[in-house]
Amino acid sequence: STSVCVVLVFCMCISVFLHHAISQQPTETDTYTECTDGYHWDPQTQHCKDINECETIPEACKGEMKCFNHYGGYLCLPRSASVIPAPEPPNQIPPSLENTASEPFNPCPPGFEPQGDSCVDVDECEQDSHDCQPSQQCFNTEGSFSCQCPDGYRKVGTECIDIDECRYRYCQHRCVNVPGSFSCQCEPGFQLAGNNRSCIDVDECSMGAPCSQRCYNTYGTFLCRCEQGYELGPDGFACNDIDECSYSSYLCQYQCVNEHGKFSCVCPEGYQLLGTRLCQDINECETGAHQCSDGQTCVNIHGGHKCVDNKSCQEPYVQVSDRCTCPITKPGCRDMPYSIVHRYMSITSERSVPSDIFQIQATSVLPGAYNTFRIRSGDDNGDFYIRQINNISAMLVLARAVNGPREYVLDLEMVSMNPLVSYHTSSVLRLTIYVGPHAF
């Protein structure tokens, strides 16, 4: 049956050839000069040739589009597109009797070749009989082949055009298209994740951020902070010491000393710090820090102490117990107070006035006696006055503000009288007042 099929096909070919030879008029003027759209007749090659519209049509593509010529037409593509042009197709020689007669006869369908008694597929890719572009990859198929573009390109007609992956928002932040591929970039403060598309925050604090003290990582950036007592500098990184003492004069009761990151209060000699800012007098008499002898009494004053003699009576007075007395039997005692008692006290400077500072209290009163109190001596400037409370007590009042260091010795006298028996006597409390050098 195979030989019969060959004879029939051969007969059909001869018939077609004879019909064509009989119908063709042997004249040179009978030519086919009409071509399809996008081609024009080339008399030199006697074939239809592609028209390059990018050169013949003014402003074929507008705006940011670029013109790319291809067979039978043209394309307007973005300027970033890359086109791999196809080579010019070889001039097709019209079939003739001579060519037909010289080609070996193939009884198999197109894409197959005879092998023995059967037809087998022709691997055009292996035989290099395909027309794929140099940048394309040839894949053999049953009876034919296919041309595929590499990754990152898409096929338009016979050409491979770069795919702009950035149009599809493949990147979380920024996308940079390159021929056949793309790359993702992140904003400052972020880095690419393992998928090379997402952006994750960078912990600048763990990567050596230039904070001089504290660093806090935030989304996309970081912040510098300072310890207490410091303030952030203009550059946002350095921490500068705050001079707290320059902000207020009330931070310390006496003197403020600035230190790195903090401040401290100091007190003058004879005082100690009470808490963090107040100053308190040191009682040297209680702490034993005095140098008074056995015959002396330690008297604490603001900022220091005094050592006073236990026996300080002066003629004509004599020491009797804790006081000095002037016997009436002595001629010099006639106009003198009968007794003198020594007392000591200390007050601060700039004390608000009027201010009660010392109370006088009679220890013994004769029956029927009427008592009055007065400042006998020591108040030359009128800084004090006496306010009598009752018959046996009075109050010494500071009338004007005084500043120390200063010392007063006031003789506070109590005069006792009894008109019925013509009795008149007096006693003195010699009060030594030390005014401290400060208001504390």
Q: From 2.10.25, 3.10.620, 2.60.40, 1.20.5, which CATH number describes the 246-281 domain?
A: 2.10.25
Strands (E), 25-109: 39-42, 47-50, 65-70, 73-78
Residue 307 pLDDT exceeds 60: yes
Coil, strand, or helix at residue 7? Answer: helix
Give 266's pLDDT tier (boundaries 50, 70, 90): very high
pTM of the predicted structure, to 2 decimals: 0.55
Q: What pLDDT does 103 receive?
A: 59
For residue 109, whether the previous peptide bond is cis, meaning omega lies within 30 degrees of 0, is: no
> Rounded mean pLDDT of 257-269?
95
> Is 122-161 in CATH node 3.40.1130?
no
DSSP assignment of 405-423 equals: SEEEEEEEEEEEEETTTTE
> Is 318-435 in CATH node 2.60.40.60?
yes
Coil, strand, or helix at residue 265? Answer: strand
Q: Beta partners for 361?
A: 393
Residue 323 backbone phi and psi in degrees, to 5: -140, 165
Domain definitions of the chain by residue range: 40-76, 122-161, 165-201, 204-241, 246-281, 318-435
Q: What pLDDT does 230 receive?
A: 96
Sign for the CA dihedral angle at 293, 294, 300, 301 comes to negative
Q: What pLDDT does 68 receive?
A: 83
- DSSP state, residue 11: H
The CATH T-level fold of domain 165-201 is: Laminin (2.10.25)
**Domain 246-281 identical in fold to domain 318-435:** no
Is residue 39 packed enough to be buried (19+ CB in 10 Å), middle (13-18) or exposed (0-12)?
Answer: middle
Q: What pLDDT does 83 receive?
A: 62
Dihedral of CA atoms 291, 293, 299, 304 in degrees, nearest 10, equals -10
Coil, strand, or helix at residue 229? Answer: coil
Closest by Cα among 255, 279, 288, 270 to 434: 270
**CA-CA distances (angstroms) from residue 242 to 277, 393, 433?**
18, 56, 43
Closest by Cα among 85, 83, 84, 94 to 48: 94
Q: What pLDDT does 419 receive?
A: 80
Q: What pLDDT does 25 receive?
A: 44
Q: From 2.10.25.10, 2.160.20.70, 1.10.490.20, 3.65.10.10, which CATH number describes the 204-241 domain?
A: 2.10.25.10
CB distance 136 to 160 below 8 Å:
yes
Q: What pLDDT does 184 receive?
A: 95
> How many Cα atoms occupy the beta-carbon half-sphere of 131 within 13 Å?
9
CB distance 396 to 410 below 8 Å:
yes
Q: What percent of the chain has pLDDT over 90?
A: 52
pLDDT per position as a tens digit, 172-193: 999 999 888 999 999 999 999 9
Helix intervals (H) in 232-299: 284-287
| Whole-number Å distance between alpha carbons of 150 and 167 | 19
Residue 100 pLDDT exceeds 80: no
pLDDT per position as a tens digit, 21-64: 334 444 444 455 678 888 888 888 888 888 888 888 888 888 77
pLDDT per position as a tens digit, 203-231: 999 999 999 999 999 999 999 999 999 99
